[in-house]
Amino acid sequence: MTLNELRLESYRNYLDCSFTFDPGVNLILGDNAQGKTNLLEAIAYLGSGKSFRAQRTAELIRFGCSCAQLEGKVFSQEREQSLRWVLFSGNKQRQLWRSGVKKKTSGDIAGVLPTVLFCPEDLMVLKAGSSQRRRLADSVLCQLRPNYDAALTEYNRILEQKGRILKDRFENPILLDLLPEYNARLCRVGAVLISYRARFFEALGRQAGEYHHRFSGGSEDFQLEYKTVSTVTDPQASIDRLEENLREHLESHSRAELESAQCLTGPHKDDFEISLSGTPLKAYGSQGQTRTAAISLKLAQRELMKREFGEEPVLLLDDVLSELDPGRQDFVLNQIDSGQVFITCCEPGRFTKIGKTIRIDNGQLKNDN
Ligand code: ATP
Ligand code: MG
């Protein structure tokens, strides 16, 4: 799929800006703080309804404005389609149109414009805290499986409500009567999440292992292990069995949850671990090994999406190529010789030769584009 045109109105530091893109490589050039990452964020948001860096929708709206608009023309699923989002700063629900037809949720546009983002923080994700790894996995799974996206939203909502009960019950003990109901729902939806994740991590590990093998000249054996709640012995078991496992773990931690006033157990603590020839990367991997494994994971995410949708997802490389040594740059560039790619960087350097260059200056296109 390709994003051919994009118009941003009152989005981040863009007042009103229209872009035309190349179906291959688009190089986004500009000094710091001019709007390069904002543009990649807008592309990702257009296709997924999610921002990779904002906590709240209001952050996406230009300072002082009450709404923002993103509109894109996409060639996908063998036809021209358009996507349009309108975001509001207050409580008003955001609005979405697909080819002029109003839609309710981002699940209604799944597969129209899938994106994979790769940024410098991803290079160290295997050494970082588990929340960054969950985010990495969720960003792909939510686009691949709209039902997973819906389950994750539901899970997080129940979790937040349960968290509030645990905190507020000191003042209002009657709230504790609600806890069993919340726990039951958490176990049910949590089991759905684990089931999706188990299958996803298996496919991701296999694919990333292939890239890593090619990358490292076959010298290291790459293994990905999904880590979830300890009572889950087989994450690929039935939803009923997983639900039972989660209930068991919750029951054994219920006292600790009450004492700490925190939700201590469930798939919101999930993680995954990479080992190279049996040695865990997080504790022992060198910087080079960690980067190579992270690149393999990213390429694998892209490959899984391609397999699912039958087309290359749009790849967003935010400042990442300039972070890599020439050998790794070449490996990445050789693997992505097809599909649409957006590459941001400050210095033109060696990439200027490979596609259309778009220069950005303070939320505007520079005249020589
Ligand atoms: P770098 O090279 O440093 O990564 P960049 O070109 O990627 O820079 P962005 O992160 O895209 O820069 O843009 C940052 C600019 O956008 C900042 O100056 C920030 O103040 C501005 N900005 C972010 N959100 C908004 C908003 N809601 N309204 C107006 N401006 C915003
Ligand atoms: Mg940036």
Strand partners, 69: 9, 86
The domain limits of the chain are 130-309
Ligand 1 pocket check for 36: Cβ under 6 Å = yes
Give residue 92's identity as a one-letter amino acid code.
K
Alpha-carbon distances of 349 from 117, 318, 341, 362, rounded to whole Å: 21, 15, 17, 21
Distance from residue 36's CA to the centre of ligand 1 (Å):
8
Q: How much of the chain exceeds pLDDT 90, in percent? A: 87
Beta-sheet strand order (sheet of 14-20)? 14-20, 2-11, 67-76, 79-88, 95-98, 101-103
By alpha-carbon position, which residue is closest to atom 13 of ligand 1? 35
| 226-243 per-position pLDDT tens digit | 999 999 999 999 999 999
The mean pLDDT of 36-65, rounded to a whole number, is: 97
| 55-101 per-position pLDDT tens digit | 999 999 999 999 999 999 999 999 999 999 999 999 999 999 999 99
| pLDDT category of residue 350 using cuts at 50, 70 and 90 | low
Q: Output the pTM of the full model.
A: 0.94
Supply the pLDDT for residue 328. 87
Query: Which string of DSSP letters, residue by residue, matches 189-216?
Result: HHHHHHHHHHHHHHHHHHHHHHHHHHHT
Phi, psi of 34 (to 5 degrees): -100, -20
CATH of 130-309, one of 1.10.150.20, 2.40.10.10, 1.10.1380.10, 1.20.1050.90: 1.20.1050.90
367 has pLDDT over 90: no
Q: Distance between CA atoms of 204 and 183, rounded to whole angstroms?
A: 30
Which of 8, 37, 361, 364 to probe ligand 1 with, by most ligand atoms within 8 A of CB?
Answer: 37
Which of 8, 10, 11, 12 to probe ligand 1 with, by most ligand atoms within 8 A of CB?
Answer: 12
Supply the pLDDT for residue 113. 98
Q: What is the mean pLDDT of the chain?
A: 94
334 has pLDDT over 90: no
Question: For residue 29, which ligand has an atom nearest its CA?
Answer: 1
Nearest ligand 1 atom, CA 35: 11
Supply the pLDDT for residue 327. 87
Residues around ligand 2, an ion, CB closer than 5 A: 36-37
Contact predicate 157/128, CB 8 Å: no
The mean pLDDT of 335-348, rounded to a whole number, is: 87
Q: Distance between CA atoms of 202 and 225, rounded to whole angstroms?
A: 8
Q: How much of the chain exceeds pLDDT 70, in percent? A: 98
Query: Which string of DSSP letters, residue by residue, matches 249-272?
Result: HHHHHHHHHHHHTS--SSGGG-EE
The mean pLDDT of 289-312, rounded to a whole number, is: 94
Supply the pLDDT for residue 82. 98
Supply the pLDDT for residue 352. 64
Nearest ligand 1 atom, CA 319: 4
Strand 79-88 relative to strand 67-76: parallel, antiparallel, unpaired? Answer: antiparallel
Alpha-carbon distances of 153 from 36, 123, 191, 258, rounded to whole Å: 29, 27, 14, 24
DSSP 8-state class, residue 61: B
